[in-house]
Amino acid sequence: MRPNLSLNLGLRYELFAPLYELYDRLANLDIASGLTAVAAVTPGMAGPYSGEFPRALVDRDKNNFGPRLGLAWKPVNGGRVTIRAGYGWYYNGGVYQNFATRLASQPPFAQTGTVQSTAARRLTLAEGFAQTPAQSITNTFAVDRSYRIGYAQTWSLSVQRDLFRSYVLEVGYLATKGTRLDMQRSPNRAAPGSQLDAEARRRIGNAVGFTLDTSEANSIFHSAQVRLTRRFTRGFSGSALYTWGKSLDNASSIGGGGGGTLAQDDQNLANERGLSSFDIRHNFNGSFVFAPQRRNKWLKDWSMTGNVLLRTGTPLTARVLGNQSDAAGTGVIGAGRADATGLPVTDGEGYFNLAAFTLPPSGRYGNSARNVIPGPGLFTINAGLGRFFRLSERRRLEFRAESTNLTNHPVITNLGTTVNASNYGLPLAVGNMRTISALIRFRF
């Protein structure tokens, strides 16, 4: 018998021009080589260090090809084994929209300032505006002029085999590699530990600390999957999927703890690599549908559905409250990490070993890696039960009741990981408890 082979091949070309090139009220920064100087630039303006800037303030990205390849093969015609493989290349073209808002909200088109009221100096309307800063360049956000669109390559391989009766077993491998992903840095910092005023010690004295968005991060994800499926037979169908995977990255927008998180040390970007914030090592998802056939007079017209989700938690990072490495001027927003003591993270009582982390010495960044604390896992059962009553040929009354988190099991979604905070090691957030809803529908 001749084997069956199916092959799909596609090629996609995308020209990414920044969507905000139609607007003229945007400002970027022209940064000199070695970060020795910086100048604010507007669309079409000639910068002193990089020449004339395009209207979009970021060079076009013209060479983005996205190939797609899919393959399905039956080694034996009419046999029980099917082999599938696929490969795809995908771009994140929506990133430009995020840049536009931040480039528009800064000088020379917008001015911002912060004034704090104290008991000794009350804030009044007469003094409601901040004083002119000492720095001549107060732009707080910039995009690397040579920024390139990030992309993800994904490839997969699976083997499926029909088992006895209506069961299907599938074993597969799935991987995704991210390249040129977002990394947010704060390059204009004061050197940590100096005794002088922090603002006066920035690398570029006439500029404030600004966030620089670059496309130099990357990620990698590998996973193995096992799926067992029962096709709908004799009133019952179900599936069970187990995934074992691991994801690593150094990206601000993907694994760095959320948007706006900067690299802790701009001079040591390699230290940003760690587990992704969405990394889930073990994940099991099972579901079923039970709808007895009509010949069972006790169960006919009834239907039952259920879902079980069991997985390990996403990792968390040990952080410090405030700026331990410097009084001011370092520009580290939400990224200051704790020191690792060398003790095992998973020992001791509680959700993790609190003694595994401590405050770093004054004037130095914390040496703990990103996302080393195992987050709390998840276990939940959802269920539904329904029945319909046939009133006539065209009229039917339906009843259905559904419950999420049927066992009312508490699901901790976040922990306190700031070592010098009062809630260190305590649960900070919990998922929804059990909910039950009922529905009655009349069809005619």
CB atoms within 10 A of CB 10: 10
Cβ burial 117-148 (10 Å sphere, 16+ → b, else e): eeeeeeeeeeeeeeeeeebebbbbbbbbbebb
**Within a domain: 402:** yes
pLDDT at 350: 87
- Range of 197's domain? 144-443
- Percent share of the chain, pLDDT over 90: 46
Give the pLDDT confidence of 146-201 residue by residue, as tens digits.
Answer: 999 899 999 999 999 998 888 999 999 999 999 999 898 888 887 776 555 566 77
What's the half-sphere exposure (Cβ side, CA atoms, 13 Å) at 331?
Answer: 25
For residues 19 and 98, is the Cβ–Cβ distance under 8 A?
A: no
Give the pLDDT confidence of 347-370 residue by residue, as tens digits.
Answer: 878 899 999 999 988 778 889 998
The mean of the pLDDT values for the chain is: 84
Residues with Cβ < 8 Å from 126, sequence gap 6 or more? Answer: none
- Encoded amino acid at 323, one letter: N
**Within a domain: 20:** no
pLDDT at 114: 60
- State pTM to two decimals: 0.84
In the predicted structure, residue 78 carries a pLDDT above the cut 80: no
In the predicted structure, residue 256 carries a pLDDT above the cut 60: no
**Within a domain: 36:** no
Give the pLDDT confidence of 394-428 residue by residue, as tens digits.
Answer: 888 999 999 999 999 999 999 999 998 999 999 99
Confidence of residue 11 (pLDDT cuts 50, 70, 90): low
pLDDT at 196: 53
pLDDT at 320: 87
pLDDT at 297: 67
For residues 366 and 417, is the Cβ–Cβ distance under 8 A?
A: no
**Within a domain: 228:** yes
**Within a domain: 207:** yes
- Encoded amino acid at 345, one letter: V
**Within a domain: 217:** yes
Give the pLDDT confidence of 199-244 residue by residue, as tens digits.
Answer: 677 888 888 888 899 999 999 999 999 999 999 988 889 999 999 9
- Domains contained in the chain, number: 1
Residues with Cβ < 8 Å from 157, sequence gap 6 or more? Answer: 83, 84, 85, 172, 173
**Within a domain: 114:** no
- Encoded amino acid at 116, one letter: Q
pLDDT at 262: 81
pLDDT top residue among 104 and 257: 104
Give the pLDDT confidence of 289-316 residue by residue, as tens digits.
Answer: 998 876 666 677 888 999 999 999 999 9
pLDDT top residue among 238 and 10: 238
Alpha-carbon distance of 265 to 192, in angstroms, equals 10
For residues 324 and 359, is the Cβ–Cβ distance under 8 A?
A: yes
In the predicted structure, residue 107 carries a pLDDT above the cut 50: yes
- Encoded amino acid at 230, one letter: R
pLDDT at 389: 85
Least confident of 40-49, 105-114, 115-124, 175-184: 115-124
Give the pLDDT confidence of 316-346 residue by residue, as tens digits.
Answer: 999 887 655 553 444 445 568 899 999 999 9
Q: H or E element: which one contains 95?
A: helix 95-104
**Within a domain: 321:** yes
Tell me the average pLDDT across 105-110.
83
- Percent share of the chain, pLDDT over 70: 84
